[in-house]
Amino acid sequence: LWKNCLDHIEQKILPENFNTWFTPLYPCAKNENTLTLVVPNRFFERCLRENYLELIQETLEYFANKKLEVCFQVNGISSGIETPFNGNGNGNGNGHPPVSAPSEARMETPASSPHVEVGESSRTESFLNPKYTFDRFVIGPNNQFAHAACQAVAQKPAYTYNPLFLYGAVGLGKTHLLHAIGNQISNQNPNLRVRYISAERFTVDLIESIKRDKMAAFRERYRPLDVLLVDDIQFIAGKERTQEEFFYTFNSLYEYHKQIVVSSDRYPKDMKNIEERLRSRFESGLIADIMPPDLETKMAILYKKADFHEKEISQDVAMFLANNIKSNIRELEGILLRVIAYSSFTRRDIDLELAKEVLKDFTVDKNKNFSIANIQKTVAQYFSIRVSDLKSKKRSRDISIPRQIAMYICREYTQASLPEIGRQFGGKDHTTVIFSHRKISSLVKENNEMTGSIQQILNILES
């Protein structure tokens, strides 16, 4: 359906507009009345809504023969549960932080457990995103090793490194590499059954199957695979039943000499709340890490992405952007899209001046939301308490935990000094801020319910 729409829209608008606004889009979910499209960022979404929403709606209506509502999901932000669509969308192809997902416990309540279609049709679905290929991946010293390991696996699945464990921080290309492996294997050998799945989706799938008494079908979906690519495996930490089932899946594939690749934002040894036997399985293969990119790699990525959008950016623009975005490549990509969009709107060339304006907006947006006052307000609202409680000396858990979380976010996401943060929390000592920050940091590493809360608060702050 979406493919048809795209073909149609391509005929209707200028190629350069099509490239800017439609090539980055892809569908991630569809149900009876709505189609969800993934957009790179909110700015992009706003522009798209303003300029093309009608066209999209009309075209969809034409091809679907009925009215469909269009939803947008920002790349990496939404925590919604996606269902497959047309075989080219995928559950969690853009690696949103797994911590933003509802916890297992919460998923079991009917209200928040969306029905995931896991019937016949998905049996052959690979959930691979065709956009993530090796030739679109820029190699630098930071990811050379991981890239080589992935290529080896893609060329000879189950012959070299099995399992392959990809480790790297958020936004550094883990999801991209998993899909690239899958895409290459599928292209070279269409008979092999390849499947990409996020650990989150695996969990939801499992819970649904248990609830509907369809465990046999669940196992049947994984057992015949030749290649299983599991993204963000750290998500299953603390979830016993999921781990047990994953262990079973892992073993049955492994015994039959099938390839398994998993990604994670931490090393196996740093994964808490994970069964020892699983950890040792992960450690039994090859562990390849991806480090943050250096300046040259960031610039090379910018050139490549710009080229993909049929734009050219000069060295000073690339240098400027690369210097100002620390390490997250998703963010780097986001800022580049903003630059491209801004230049197409204002009909100005992409030069340093324009890049500076866009970046200023970007940082102002960020800083505005991440002021201490706004963090306090958002945290207080999230926990249904008052800002004055956060600033008070109350020590009950329902106040002290939100207070520590708020301090933690202030420390991590603003430039404010420790004494300044303390002052804004009703005149507390800077050691209190240090203590809170340490405490929450260590809890965050455990990936429990609190991590989910913090992630949701950050999502609110970022929106």
Binding residues are: 171, 173-175
Q: Report the residue number, 142 or 243, with the smaller CB distance to ligand ADP.
A: 142
- 175 interacts with ligand ADP by CB under 6 A: yes
Rounded CA gap, 185 and 34, in Å?
32
If one asks whether residue 138 binds ligand ADP (CB under 6 A), the answer comes out as yes
- From candidates 149, 172, 227, 337, binder to ligand ADP by CB under 6 A: 172
CB of 368 to Mg ion, least distance (A): 27
Q: How far apart are the first and last CA of the chain?
A: 30
Rank residues 207 and 261 by Cβ distance to ligand ADP and give the closer one. Answer: 261
Task: Give which of ligand ADP, Mg ion, none residue 143 binds (C-beta under 5 to 8 Å, depending on kind).
Answer: ligand ADP
Shortest Å, Cβ 433 to Mg ion: 31
Binding to ligand ADP by residue 143, rule CB under 6 A? yes
Q: Would you list the DSSP string of 125-184?
A: -----TT--GGGPPP-TTTHHHHHHHHHHHHSTTTS-SSEEEEE-TTSSHHHHHHHHHHH
331 is an interface residue for ligand ADP by CB under 6 A: no
How far apart are the C-alpha atoms of 242 and 343, rounded to whole Å?
47
Binding partner selected for residue 176 from Mg ion, ligand ADP, none, CB under the kind-specific 5 to 8 Å limit = ligand ADP
When binding is defined by CB under 6 A, the residue of 95, 402, 422, 452 that contacts ligand ADP is 95
Q: Which amino acid is at 123?
A: R
**Binding-site sequence positions for ATP:** 171, 173-175
Between 143 and 447, name the residue whose CB sits nearer to ligand ADP.
143
SS3 call for 27: strand
Query: If binding is defined by CB under 6 A, does position 170 make contact with ligand ADP?
Result: yes
The CA distance from 433 to 72, in Å, is 38
Query: Nearest approach, Cβ of 456 to Mg ion (angstroms)?
Result: 18
With contact defined as beta carbons under 8 Å apart, do 232 and 198 qualify?
yes
Does residue number 436 form part of the binding site for Mg ion (CB under 5 A)? no
Any contact of residue 95 with Mg ion (CB under 5 A)? yes
Nearer to Mg ion, 95 or 102 (CB): 95
Q: Which of 30, 174, 338, 428 binds ligand ADP (CB under 6 A)?
A: 174
In what order do the strands lie in the sheet containing 34-39?
Answer: 26-30, 34-39, 69-74
Closest CA to 376 of 449, 444, 450, 461: 461
Determine the length of the chain.
463
**Nearest C-alpha neighbor of 24 from the set 79, 126, 93, 87:** 93
Peptide bond connecting 84 to the previous residue in cis, omega within 30 degrees of 0 = no
**Minimum CB distance to ligand ADP smaller for 402 or for 452:** 452
Span interacting with Mg ion, options 90-98, 107-115, 133-141, 337-345, rule CB under 5 A: 90-98
What gap in Å lies between CA 288 and CA 290, rounded to an integer? Answer: 7
Answer with the entry of Mg ion, ligand ADP, none that 452 interacts with (C-beta below 5 to 8 A by kind): none
Piece in contact with ligand ADP (CB under 6 A), picked from 27-35, 131-139, 249-257, 382-390: 131-139
334 belongs to the binding site for ligand ADP (CB under 6 A)? no
Identify the sign of the CA torsion 378, 380, 384, 386: negative
What is the DSSP secondary-structure string of 76-126?
A: TT--PPP---TTT--TTTT---GGGSPPHHHHTSGGG-PPP--SGGGGG--
Quick one: which of 59, 83, 143, 175 contacts Mg ion (CB under 5 A)? 175
Site string for ligand ADP, 296-315 (x = CB under 6 A): -----x--------------
Strand pairing category for 34-39 and 26-30: antiparallel
State the binding partner of 91 from Mg ion, ligand ADP, none, CB within 5 to 8 A by kind.
none
Query: What is the contact surface with Mg ion in residues (CB under 5 A)?
Result: 95, 174-175
Query: What is the contact surface with ligand ADP in residues (CB under 6 A)?
Result: 94-95, 132, 136-138, 143, 168, 170-176, 301, 329-330, 333
